[in-house]
Chains A and B, each alone.
Chain A
């Protein structure tokens, strides 16, 4: 009886998620009257703005991942090594982006870095890109920090650090040659999450008026009928692709270790 209820709930939950997806996918295939076709996808892929915004967001995700890794790996490492008592505090700080809406962050940015401020980042396209990258890095912080911190838990940070130090290594060598390679799987899963977040982000890019994928999706959605669901399916495919890659990387690493 209990099993039946459990299965029933599971099926209901799946339907709740899958039905809209199925409906959307089905609708995206109905551009041609009376038959299923991939016309909507063809139109989307033929739109140069799709490729422009897609490429832009991809480039910014890469930048965000680099910033995130450079920021998070040394921080999480240092907290584990020297400030274990500060961990709850640091965790709280990394969680703030989940609590504070992106719109608040971006308004703060615009106020702080507008053209008449001490650091007029919004004055140029490149400056705004930097600002947007920082904003994305903030949004991705909770995920990146958590996954790197979990990765660090699997190695003895203190002993490895001291072993490297006694062999003459400085902080940069320790981080680059010992710590980072050992948390690479965690960094990659953080990176894929970051990619998924950045590809779909709308608020920041729109308010900073940059040609990102999120605002493009919104624009298309407001003006067309069949293309937006096609685009949504594409976005889902990207996200799920990322999650699949994450699984793959984790599986691969476990496989490596299981050989022991």
Chain B
């Protein structure tokens, strides 16, 4: 039995089924992200775990204890919200101490814990300030310290970085992950930002329309998407029409290729074959199965990576190449070649 178990969770608001048969087993110390488009039910799942919503059916078990019927204030779960959740009338130190005070922890132990938490988030001098005297990033760190101070069993974060600017967002997400590792606290993180989900998590749950479409490590979700939705939602995809010619072979633009895994599709069936931008190479690559002529249509210089759009076999393909100081990016309108291999193809079935 895992540390946190969500089994057959369902939630309806009136006739609107928002979460459908949601199952998830989280190991102790694991960092899980719920990733999905707006309105897919991520927050609702999190709120059911926190105890703010009552599941229509299904159960939640934490560390062997069934908490489905427990109130939010009895669950010992830490929660971090999107923004503006610090108590404006309390100082930073009082905010962090709040949960401990509610628990009845003695003052000297409380003060020690608050100091420890403020050191952990790198704001040891800020205890006497009020929330309105802090920047957004500092406020969210204090919110993290406040959630962690009472040593909760599970930490829940609902898009805690979305209100911050890009630089702070990246540094804070690394910091959150470090603190989470250091404390070994079981964590569920809600986001609709795939970069956040892929970079931070041990495992990602990709949700769509209230359903968990795939649960897996970031590498797995990105490279072996289980459904068409996961493939298209996570990362960028180039989609080609293809034809299955054998159990492990297919045809792209008339050229036969070998697939990485056998597909359970009838021979001759038409299907969509997809490629990540980094699996398409500009130019003729050693050992590539397919080389196709292309016309450069757009060049986006992103720094270490150059994203090129090229017309290949009647459709526009995005491909990534690394920046090299001795090779300037191709000019728009020039003729080129692209190469690709069957083992990188993702087969999309409907």
Binary flags per residue of B256-290, CB closer than 8 Å to A gives 1, else 0: 00000000000000000000000000000000000
A159–B88 alpha-carbon span in the complex (Å)? 12
Q: What is the bound-complex CA distance between A64 and B248, given in angstroms? A: 84
A-B contact count (CB 8 A): 71
- Asked, given contacts A159-B81, A162-B52, A162-B81, whether A178 binds B87 with beta carbons under 8 Å apart, the answer is yes
B231 within 8 A of A: no
Counting CB contacts under 8 A, is B307 at the interface?
Answer: no
Q: Take A163-B79, A168-B150 as given contacts and tell me if A182 and B89 are in contact as well, using a CB distance cutoff of 8 Å.
A: yes
Contacts of B51 on A, CB cut-off 8 Å?
165-166
B79, closest chain A residue (CB): A166
Whether A156 sits at the interface, judged by CB under 8 Å, is yes
Q: Is A168 a contact of B103 with CB atoms below 8 Å?
A: yes
Please determine whether B102 and A166 come into contact, CB atoms closer than 8 angstroms: no
Given contacts A159-B85, A167-B99, contact A257 B76 (CB under 8 A): no
Number of chain B interface residues as a range? 20 to 34
> Is A120 close to B, CB under 8 A?
no
Asked whether B102 lies within 8 Å of A260 as measured between CB atoms, the reply is: no
- CB pair B87–A165 under 8 Å, yes or no, is no
| Complex Cα spacing A155 to B131, Å | 13
> When the two chains form their complex, are residues A166 and B88 in contact, meaning their CB atoms are under 8 A apart?
no
A168 touches B73 (CB 8 A): yes
Asked if B146 lies at the interface with its beta carbon under 8 angstroms from chain A, I say yes
Tell me if A160 is interfacial: C-beta within 8 Å of chain B: yes
Using Cβ atoms and an 8 Å threshold, which residues of chain B touch A170?
73
In the complex, what's the smallest C-beta–C-beta distance from A153 to chain B, in angstroms?
Answer: 14
Query: Contact at A165–B88, with CB atoms within 8 Å?
Result: no
Bound Cα distance from A178 to B81, whole angstroms: 17
Q: How does the 8 Å CB contact mask read for A160-199 relative to B, with 1 for contact and 0 for none?
A: 1011111111100100011001101000000000000000
Which residues of A have CB within 8 Å of B84?
A: 156, 159
| Shortest Cβ distance from residue A108 to the other chain B in the assembled complex, whole angstroms | 40
Measured between C-beta atoms, what is the minimum distance from A68 to chain B in Å?
21
Say how far A76's CB is from chain B's closest CB, in angstroms: 17
Q: Is the CB of B87 within 8 A of A166?
A: no
Asked whether any CB of chain B lies closer than 8 Å to the CB of A259, the reply is yes
Shortest CB-to-CB span from B273 to chain A, Å, is 46
Contact with B along A29-46 (1 / 0, CB 8 A): 000000000000000000
5 nearest A-B residue pairs (beta carbon) = A167-B99, A260-B132, A166-B79, A181-B89, A165-B72
Please give 9 more A-B residue pairs, beta carbons under 8 A apart, in addition to A167-B78, A167-B99: A163-B85, A165-B72, A166-B51, A166-B156, A167-B98, A168-B103, A173-B102, A177-B98, A178-B87
